[in-house]
Amino acid sequence: MAAVGPYGVHPGHALITMVEPHPGHEYAYNRWYEDDHYIAGAMAMPWMFAGRRWVATRELQLLRYPEKSAVARPVTAGCYLSTYWLTEGRYDEHMKWTVGINKRLNRDGRVYQDRTHVFTAFQDHAATVYRDGTAGPRDFHALDHPYAGLVLEVIDADGPERRAELLEWLRARHLPRRLAGSPAAMVTVFRPTPLPGDRMSYVKQVEGVDTRLTLLWFLQQDPREAWAAHFAGLAEEVGESGLGRVELVAPFLPTVPGTDRYVAELR
């Protein structure tokens, strides 16, 4: 695999997965993911070159909107978010590996069952918009840089034929305006791709493959400090554009690897 093919640094693809541990299993799920799955089920795989886990305490869950979300039902579901970058052009090779290793992990009893996948999808990179131009970390640094928070935003275009127009409006107008003077250093935008037919049975097929865009806002301060001023009105502005509708805006804090920090604050 190393001798031929792309091996650049651009995050051409991402795995974005939001999961809800079942009640009473929060500590066990966190330890399994931290101590085993994050490495054996993700970072040890070829072409997955960066990863970061995020958590939404109950306080953060209650900031989410819209109340009737096409992504999270209820909108508070999915208190853990994991984000991973994949090398551009290596999606197919990585996917073969990930399906194979997860089948093995499942067979070996190393997959935690008491959890629900709320929003899990591999995605293709569509755009990155920076607040400060060429200054500061790039998108390939984003999962290693010590950002203080992240906001996940999911937008559905008004039909497949409108998604390209929605993306261009986001990239050229909406995001530069929203980023200016905000605590967000960058926004990465992705398009979801369908999961393979031989995926694990506990992961549902991806919805909105032709219409959806997933945005990750990387914040330099706690999202609670910036919520009212910078994130509370995203749905209205997207709706007024006539190009789509916001289906989820959800803030997260970075987990502290190797610890159970925030687990007691999930419920």
Would you say residue 199 has pLDDT above 60?
no
* Mean pLDDT, rounded, for 160-179: 97
- Per CATH, which fold does 11-254 belong to? Alpha-Beta Plaits (3.30.70)
- CA distance to 39, 103, 105, 196, per residue, from 99 (Å): 15, 6, 10, 8
List phi, psi (to 5°) of 15: -110, 120
* 224 touches 59 (CB < 8 A): yes
Position 65 scores a pLDDT of 98
- Compute the distance between CA of residue 257 and CA of residue 260 in angstroms, rounded to an integer: 8
Residue 195: which pLDDT band, with cuts at 50, 70 and 90?
Answer: confident
Quote the pTM value.
0.95
List phi, psi (to 5°) of 178: -70, -35
Q: CA torsion 25→30→32→38, rounded to 10°? A: 150
Which helix (H) or strand (E) element contains residue 107?
helix 91-107
Place of tokens 């209820």: 74
Position 225 scores a pLDDT of 96
Here the tokens at position 29 are 């799920």
Contacts of 239 (CB under 8 A, 6+ apart): 245, 246
Contacts of 87 (CB under 8 A, 6+ apart): 6, 7, 8, 9, 10, 11, 12, 13, 47, 49, 94
Domain positions in the chain: 11-254
Residue 203: which pLDDT band, with cuts at 50, 70 and 90?
Answer: low
Here the tokens at position 52 are 């970061």
Here the tokens at position 22 are 């079942």
Of all residues in the chain, what percent carry a pLDDT higher than 90?
A: 93
